Amino acid sequence: MAKGSRGGFPGGGFPGGNPNQLMQQVQRMQREMEKAQEEIAEMTAEATAGGNAVRVVIGGDKQIKELEIEKNVVDPEDVEMLQDLIMVAVNEAIRTLEEKSEARMSKVTGGKGLPMGF
């Protein structure tokens, strides 16, 4: 081994700088991720369909928290229309919630994906 050489890294140092600083950065990011996840769990998203005939609110856990259906859209002869309105409202609320969640997480990650394990 050449004199002054440590391990296989050029300059004999730790890749990316001081290992203690790197560990502190990782721990800070983990705390920020946990905070973001808590905030996401508290989020809600609302959507409507059929000109507000159906309104749905879902929580950050992707569970329906509220569902309102106007009486005038409840037609026993046209159940399929009501089913469609409910699906549209629920799917839109989920999409909105996912957008909110992604926006919050991108504040932690700087818009970059996370390494595996996070």
**Torsion of the alpha carbons at 29, 32, 33 and 37, rounded to the nearest 10:** 180
CA–CA distances in Å: residue 109 to residues 32, 102, 112, 115: 9, 10, 5, 10
- Buried b / exposed e along 5-39 (16+ C-beta atoms within 10 A): eeeeeeeeeeeeeeeeeeeeeeeeeeeeeeebeee
> What is the pLDDT at residue 113?
58
Confirm whether 102 is domain-assigned: yes
pTM: 0.70
Confirm whether 77 is domain-assigned: yes
> What is the pLDDT at residue 101?
92
CA–CA distances in Å: residue 80 to residues 10, 37, 70: 67, 37, 15
| Total tally of structural domains belonging to the chain | 1
Confirm whether 34 is domain-assigned: no
> What is the pLDDT at residue 116?
45
Confirm whether 30 is domain-assigned: no
pLDDT digits (tens, 9 = 90+) for 5-52: 445 555 555 566 688 888 888 898 899 999 999 999 999 999 999 999
Confirm whether 8 is domain-assigned: no
Three-point CA angle 106, 112, 115, nearest 5°: 110
pLDDT digits (tens, 9 = 90+) for 54-94: 999 999 999 999 999 999 999 999 999 999 999 999 999 99
Higher-confidence residue: 88 or 109? 88
Please say whether the beta carbons of 45 and 58 come within 8 A.
Answer: yes
Enclosing domain of residue 59: 44-109
Question: The domain that contains 86 carries what CATH number?
Answer: 3.30.1310.10
